[in-house]
Amino acid sequence: MESRTALRAHIGMTRRLSQSDWSILSQASHEVRTVRRDTVISRRGDTLGESILILSGMVGRYIPATSGAPHLVAVEVPGDFADLHAFPLKQLDHDVTARTDVEAAIFPHEDLAELIARHPGVARQLWALTLVDASIHRHWAFRNGALRSLARLADLLCELDTRLQYAGLRASPKGLPVPLTQIDLANACGMSAEHVNRVLRDLREDGCCTFGGGFLNIHDRQKLYAVAQFNPSYLYLPD
């Protein structure tokens, strides 16, 4: 049971860890939990005693706005820790919500603490994982501040394409599963849902990609990446 967990979980961003570091880390988790879609996993201000590693599904981080809907500031895909920063900080400044049904490996903070004390190398790797997150956050700030709607939306789609593929969700002929609505995209990009719809139409008519039914179908990846002028270096993917 546990070994199966470990096997399945060494995916996506956790591939930054060597096989041996991974086997050490995976011993800190003794439980896999399933979370239903739209469940709030943790709420701003909560004090957390555990962090979760996404095995399947997608979660979002939301900053509540005083007026209007909470704003989507990050998504986590399989292989990402959804809230590892709660381990050193103990507290979250935002909400974490399951966008789909989610399978997650639970890492109690006390187990992490013990593990880290004995394995500084793994500690460094975990630190690095949160720093890749930070780099992605910077890119979201850049995207929302520097890009116009067409490039902005395309850039987000490129990021999702790259990260989801790296997480092992290979594009099939039917497309890459992206369980977000146009409203979610609008929320992430700081655009109105109507405008997202129009920009998606433009991308479709330009032969770049179609988005719908939970799938992103990329017809011309090179063109899409060119529209976004996408440079994935900020994702710090190995290779």
Contacts of 134 (CB under 8 A, 6+ apart): none
Considering only residues 178-237, where is the footprint of DNA by CB under 7 A?
181-183, 190-195, 197-198, 200-201, 212
Please state, as a whole number, how many other Cβ atoms lie within 10 Å of the Cβ of residue 120: 9
Choose from a copy of itself, DNA, none: what does 165 bind? Cβ within 5-8 Å by kind. Answer: none
| Backbone angle region of 236, left / alpha / beta, with phi > 0 → left and psi within -120 to 50 → alpha | left
97 phi and psi angles, rounded to 5 deg: -130, 140
**Residue 90, both tokens:** 């103990």
Q: Is 99 in the site for a copy of itself (CB under 8 A)?
A: no
Q: How far is the CB of 23 from a copy of itself (least distance, A)?
A: 20
172 DSSP 8-state letter: B
Of the residues 135, 192, 207, 214, which one makes contact with a copy of itself according to CB under 8 A: 135
- Build a one-symbol-per-residue string for 154-183: x at contacts with a copy of itself by CB under 8 A, - elsewhere: ------------------------------
Binding site for a copy of itself (CB under 8 A): 44-45, 61, 63, 65-68, 71, 73-74, 85, 88-89, 91, 93-94, 116-117, 120, 123-125, 127-128, 130-135, 137-146, 188-190, 229, 231, 233-234, 236
Q: Rule CB under 7 A: which residues touch DNA?
A: 148-150, 181-183, 190-195, 197-198, 200-201, 212
